[in-house]
Each structure stands twice: as C-alpha cells, then as structure tokens.
Structure 1
Amino acid sequence: MPTTRREQPGALLVAEDKISVYHGLCARLRRLPVDDDLDEFRTRAARLLACHQRMLHQAVDPGPVRP
C-alpha cells in the first residue's frame, strides 16, 4: 500500500527544516545593502526564494487527502 506524505514524519521534518532555511535566506536578503543597480536582482532572488518556500509549504500540507 503506497504511503502519503502525511504518513512520512521524517520527510515532513526535512521539509520543515528547509522552510526555515528559506525563511532565513529571505530575511538575510532583505537586510543586504545593495546599490540601485542591483535592486532588481535582489527582488528577483526574493521571488525565487519565495517560490521555493511556497512549494515546500505545499509539500508539507498538500491539502485534503483523497481516499
């Protein structure tokens, strides 16, 4: 019988650890002083980190479990 993500506590702990890492990276990126020339790159990097963080959140809680 296949297992779901909710039945794999080890995988959830790994995903939660990664979410914490991405959250920390986003905070460090916001505090990073940059010139006006690099502000666009910081914005793009923040969007990329937010995308990965959102995917990890969905992996941890994919929504209702269907039978």
Structure 2
Amino acid sequence: MKLNDKEIYSAIAKARKSKNISQQEISRMTGIIQADISRIENGKANPTINVITRLADALGISLNFSIDN
C-alpha cells in the first residue's frame, strides 16, 4: 500500500493526538514552528524529509518508505 502525502500528515496528527501532545508541545520538542505543524497536519505544507523525521522522532514513531521508479 502506498500512502499519499495527506495520509502521512494525517498519521502524524493522529500519533500526536493519541499521545496527548499539543502542537505547541511538539513545536518546543522539535523546534518546528507551531503554525507549520498545523499546516503539515492539514496537508497545506510541503515539509522536507528532515522535518517529517523530526516530528516522527519526537512522537516515537518510525518512518518506513521506499522510492520506486
């Protein structure tokens, strides 16, 4: 199954909410501006892999992906 961007961003939001972490808290944990986190979770941003990795690390979730031609 391949996930699209919005599914990835939704999974990040779901993980954050399931751990009862606010956007402000994860902002402090990652150094990512809260407004940017909101845009990412709502699919209105195009974050880098680095940003997604920082969010995943802060949430204790792993990223697994592959690049296909």
Tell me the TM-score normalised to structure 2 length. Answer: 0.35
Larger Rg belongs to: 1
Larger helix share, 1 or 2: 1
